[in-house]
Amino acid sequence: MRRLLFLSLLFLHSSLFIQKAAGQRADYHIIPLPKEMKVDSTQVFVLRDGMGIAYDSNHAETTRIARFLQTWVSEATGIHLQLTPSDKKAPIQLVLAQPAKKGKKAKMPEEPLSEQQQEAYTITVHKSGITLSALQPVGLFRAAQTLRKSLPIRTTPNPSRQGEGLLFPYAQIQDEPRFSYRGVLLDCGRHFFPVEFIKQFLDAMALHGCNQFHWHLTEDQGWRFEVKALPRLAVEGSVREKTVIGPGNMHIYDNIPYGGYYTQDDCREIVRYAAERYINVVPEIDMPGHMMSALHVFPNLGCTGGPYPVATNWGVMRDVLCGGNPETLEFLKTVFGELCDVFPSKFIHIGGDECPKERWQKCGKCQARIQELGLTSEPKVKVDGDDGRGSQDGRSAENKLQTYLNHEIEQFLASRGRSLIGWDEILAGGLTEDAIVMSWRGTKGGIAAAKQKHRVIMSPNVYAYIDHPQLKDYSKQPRTTDSYQVSCSKIYSFEPVVPDELTAEQQENILGVQANLWTEQVAYPEHAFYQLLPRLASMSEVQWCRPDQKDFNNFKARLPQLEKLYDKLGYIYCHQVE
């Protein structure tokens, strides 16, 4: 708080100073707020058209980052910088620094950098220019984004100011994210979003410092991932014959067929585009529930044999993959095998949520497999969320059968060098050895998993579900999942390591935080951006900032500058912040 006051005074001071100097002035009202920042507003470096950006042109990544920075400066301000590789005198320097050398006597092996340290960077604004420095290219990319967000946005070209420079107060900024996993989910199952839109979404994520794109690729309402060994799966499973209108309880349909899927080439294109922005793509194939689209194509994989339509309404479906049919595992291994071929991510999401067990309880194959595996029901333990949702019936034999499937997939993924993530329902039948839990029904699942020494990603619906309304007055916004409000301030208030519940050691198991954009009610790119922004700004401070840095009023005061950039980029966003 004291630091914020100090910074505010500096900003005030610098705004007095600016009246003496010509040109628009950069400031450091950045979201997410950097970890440390010292600003001397009494002195400025003036950035002018035609100045150079120096970088190591033998290094492809640094070259790309220099180009990004050049584009961003020109887009925001109209100032065109030259790319001047290896020019030691260029005012803007991108420097890949060497790690500090320890004394010769130090015999200890060098500690590997943590993932957060790999993303760390420094920006120094001084007499002769601006130096961006980091140990890894990803750090340089983050630094370039921070510099981008410091720029004054030129909203209208003003010929009389064309020759003016941009004034950068002297500054020393040091930054490093709090969490290594900083995700956003986009549900492309309920509605399909074109590749070009996914790229815009990734750009917006990168602007906010996010590094994990959780791509929800399959749903009851549509299978969106091409599996070459099963060509009918995406072709037929991606199309539903109609879509329910509104929340769904009126059972009124539009009677318009709806479909779309991503070819493996599309997916590779997205992986490449994301990687250039230091975003990993975490693909999700949701199993064994949320599988109506696959059951439609392969009814033999369901307990009843079908027929099954690709779902046309929302909710949790009773029909799921049969847990006792050996063909189910064969199918899953084919799908996850191709998924691993296409997505290099170390994390693969297997879903696991909302899988009712009523079909399994009555299915001969499921019950035979339960017998064969010797699975027995234990007294009911409620494993539901702290949001009043969820109704898992604890350690039932059927939930253990789901754990058995998870175990098989975990082994399969491990043989490809990958780790499994599942929604918190995977706790119900007992966690598999290496499972990472994504806690969505509140934080209880995450807390339980962290206590069991499992890695956790927090994504509790009451704080992180951005399909929910952001404003209290529902009439002021497009229709969304209409239950509770998930406002910017609600998101901002989330403390992911729940210190009241977890010891310091257990808190280390919390890898990070994720915002989820489900799309039952979100069919168009513009609406998706409205749901995303500016709530992603709020989430980005949960992902990057330490608790003592966070102050919602201060965040709100910094937001207008970011919104000017949203405007410049043509982003649709909610203009009111609650």
Q: Which residue's structure tokens are 């950097």?
A: 34
Q: Residue 9 has which token pair?
A: 């005074």
- 354 belongs to the binding site for ligand ACM (CB under 6 A): yes
**Interatomic CA distance for residues 502 and 492, integer angstroms:** 20
| Least distance between ligand ACM and beta carbon 481 (Å) | 10
Element (H, E) at 146: helix 137-150
- Cis before 288 (ω within 30): yes
Looking at the Cβ atoms of 168 and 518, the one nearer to ligand ACM is 518
Looking at the Cβ atoms of 303 and 437, the one nearer to ligand ACM is 437
- The DSSP line for 418-485 is -EEEEEGGGGTT---TTPEEEE-SSSHHHHHHHHTT--EEE--HHHHBTTS-SSS-GGGS-----SS-
| Least distance between Zn ion and beta carbon 403 (Å) | 16
**Interatomic CA distance for residues 340 and 418, integer angstroms:** 8
| Least distance between ligand ACM and beta carbon 381 (Å) | 20
| Least distance between ligand ACM and beta carbon 438 (Å) | 8
Looking at residue 113, the DSSP 8-state letter turns out to be P
Count residues binding ligand ACM (CB under 6 A): 4
- 237 belongs to the binding site for Zn ion (CB under 5 A): no
- 303 belongs to the binding site for Zn ion (CB under 5 A): yes
Q: Contact with Zn ion (CB under 5 A): which of 91, 139, 289, 324?
A: 324
- 353 belongs to the binding site for ligand ACM (CB under 6 A): yes
| Least distance between ligand ACM and beta carbon 213 (Å) | 16
- Report which of 263, 321, 257, 310 is spatially closest to residue 288, judged by C-alpha positions: 321
- 387 belongs to the binding site for ligand ACM (CB under 6 A): no
- 440 belongs to the binding site for ligand ACM (CB under 6 A): yes
The end-to-end CA distance of the chain, in Å, is 21
- Site track 101-130 with ligand ACM (rule: CB under 6 A), x = hit: ------------------------------
CB atoms under 10 Å from CB of 183, counted, come to: 29
Pairing of strands 36-47, 166-175: antiparallel
Q: Contact with Zn ion (CB under 5 A): which of 59, 199, 365, 556?
A: 365
Element (H, E) at 335: helix 326-342
Looking at the Cβ atoms of 193 and 555, the one nearer to ligand ACM is 193
CB atoms under 10 Å from CB of 468, counted, come to: 22
- 463 belongs to the binding site for ligand ACM (CB under 6 A): no
Looking at the Cβ atoms of 61 and 353, the one nearer to ligand ACM is 353
Q: Contact with ligand ACM (CB under 6 A): which of 331, 423, 529, 566?
A: 423
List residues near Zn ion by CB under 5 A. Answer: 303, 322, 324, 363, 365-366
List residues near ligand ACM by CB under 6 A. Answer: 353-354, 423, 440
